Amino acid sequence: MKEFTSPFTSIPLGLSPERHFSEALTRWNYFPNQKDSASELPPCFTTRRFTPEIAVELSNLPIQATRKQHWFDLVEYRVTRYNNISRTLALLHPLAYARLHARIMANYEEITKLTSSKQSAIRVEEHIDGRMIIMNYESHETRTNTALEDTFGKRFRAHTDISNCFGSVYSHSLEWAIQGYDEAKKNLYATPKHWSSLLDVAFRNTKRNETSGLPIGPAASNLAVEIILCRIDKVLDGYGFIFTRYIDDYTAYCETHDEAQRFIRLLGQELSSYRLSLNLNKTSIKELPEPLQDSWTSSLNNALPKRTDNEGILTLSTSEAINFLDFAVRLNNETPDGSVLRYAISAIAPRANNGTAVAVFNYALNLSWHFPALLPLLEKIDARSDAYDIDATHDKLNKIIAINALHRRSDGMCWALYYLKQLNREPGGNQITEVINSKDCAAITMLCQFNSSVALAKEYALRIINDATLYELDQNWLLLYELFLHDHIDDPYPTESTFALLKKYDVSFLYPADRSSHAEQFCHVLSNPFQIPGQTIPFNQWMRRLEAPPLPPKSPSFLHESAKNGAPCPD
């Protein structure tokens, strides 16, 4: 399905670090989009039209009294792990996220300093695709190179991670990490509030004003976690430990077993001061030397066909591909690590073409019924739709929708619906009913893209609106906005201007046109390296200029010359 991958991009280059940071927060790392392959959500979901200027204007909207009583809820999006247990990601309400973005940008310099740690392998930095955070858990080469440096002269490796890290973060601990516990306690009732207290409030307001747990997915949450863990990194570094941290996963290399135990003990103590704890099931100390790669990685690399054609280019026959995938399935059954099948399919997808690509595609599609986490890989396989049985694929995708609707797996439903849309096919009637019965907001939002299901999606939305609390509206904001944007329903928030403002600026979170909106074009204006500092056209003026009616055409110059000479103008 690689043929359907859209080449359109609207990523401006040459931005200042602060502007890149702001655009990353709003346009590229607002929805869950942090894996190296950006596979959490199908690419039809995007926030690229949600620009910093729109976020700023949203953040200045007045907050109604009823909203201040409850603040905001969010859309839950459940992604499936290798063991088919779901992890809940968050699609934050645009107004809540705009207010959080404003609070972060108001303290940009302080936050960039606080999120810097030489021990952190996942850095907050500029990426060419516009993002600021990319979590690449599967970069084995990077881990290998780091381990080679850190293990020399060491006898033991200590490994541990934080138990339910994002879900356990106590929002007030942000103030402790930024100010220090004693200082934060002293300033508890001080006025004006320290900026860390206001940041704490902004995070709480995105999630029902709860103090426990951060929404998983937005880059803003990663910034909060990094602020806390970078403070702990500095403490551990002060003890002289050699360690690396991958988000919430720690590996330390020590000269003695006692030193390894001390690392784990001190890390646990520091975490407890922020109300976090170690995951004891994933805590271990091993004597070195140990292999640098997991055994399954070595096994797959050894089994990977390495035959070349007459020009020395790696090639792959259908039988070789099937044998390799068979081997990967057996290895996956023996190995608790969920990366085996993803790694195997990713390894051969770029080398498979023609009939081999079709075979790999069909094999991966069959596995995807069992493991929905494999669905994003289908679009990496260069299997052309005229080479495989579209009717059979249509039927299989409908069955994938059904099984994932039963288990309420958002990613399984959304990716299957995305592929149906790419194939210009419709979901089955039973599948439409099952998706709606799942009450999954993202999947039902995708139903709005199909002629056979948009009316049922609208009917479902109207039932919500007719008897809904603010929280229930927020839990379905993505669906409600999609229907409002295309004039299927009235604004479900009659006392708020959020949806109206988003529509005014042509913001679309689902299948936006392959062109830049006027607001997006302003981002490119700011990236112009030849602009004169201080003379950039303001955003509101830019939007008014583009929205103004065109001037009437000027008459040809020869008519003006005739008039000057006293000659009459022709009728």
pLDDT in tens, 511-523: 988 889 999 999 9
Architecture per CATH, domain 139-293, reads as: 2-Layer Sandwich (3.30)
pLDDT for residue 312 is more than 50: yes
pLDDT, position 561: 45
pLDDT, position 551: 45
Q: What sign does the CA torsion over 372, 88, 344, 338 have?
A: negative
Q: Which pTM does this prediction carry? A: 0.91
205, burial (CB in 10 Å: exposed 0-12, middle 13-18, buried 19+): buried
Buried b (16+ CB within 10 A) or exposed e, 311-345: eeeebbeeebbeebbebbeebbeebeebbbbbbbb
Buried b (16+ CB within 10 A) or exposed e, 377-397: bbbbbbbeeeebeeeebbebb
The model's pLDDT over 452-490, given as tens digits with 9 standing for 90+, comes to 999 999 999 999 999 899 999 999 999 999 999 999 999
Q: Do residues 457 and 53 lie in contact, with contact meaning Cβ atoms separated by under 8 Å?
A: no
pLDDT, position 558: 41
CATH topology of domain 295-442: 1.25.40
pLDDT, position 38: 59
Q: Where are the domains of the chain?
A: 1-135+443-571, 139-293, 295-442
Mean pLDDT for the chain?
A: 91
pLDDT, position 562: 44
Least confident of 38-52, 216-230, 408-422: 38-52
Q: Are strands 86-92 and 156-161 parallel, antiparallel or unpaired?
A: unpaired
pLDDT for residue 568 is more than 50: no
pLDDT (average), residues 61-81: 95
pLDDT (average), residues 130-138: 77
Cis peptide before 42 (omega within 30 of 0): no
End-to-end CA distance of the chain: 60
Q: How far is CA 152 from the centre of its chain?
A: 36
Q: What is the dihedral of CA 142, 148, 150, 152, to 10 degrees?
A: 180
pLDDT for residue 71 is more than 80: yes
pLDDT (average), residues 168-185: 96
pLDDT for residue 555 is more than 50: no
Cβ neighbours around 99 below 10 Å, total: 23
pLDDT (average), residues 263-269: 99
pLDDT, position 12: 72
pLDDT, position 288: 96
pLDDT, position 296: 93
Could you tell me which residue, 377 or 383, shows the higher pLDDT? Answer: 377
Paired tokens of 390: 């579209």
Paired tokens of 11: 């990523």
Q: Who contacts 473 (Cβ-Cβ below 8 Å, separation ≥6)?
A: 464, 465, 480, 492, 493
pLDDT for residue 179 is more than 60: yes
Instruction: Give residue for tokens 């002269």.
Output: 153
pLDDT, position 3: 58
pLDDT (average), residues 485-498: 97
- Residue 138: band (very low, low, confident or very high) from pLDDT cuts 50, 70, 90: very low
pLDDT for residue 36 is more than 80: no
- Residue 569: band (very low, low, confident or very high) from pLDDT cuts 50, 70, 90: very low
pLDDT (average), residues 423-449: 98
pLDDT, position 80: 93
pLDDT for residue 282 is more than 90: yes
pLDDT (average), residues 310-325: 92
pLDDT for residue 559 is more than 80: no
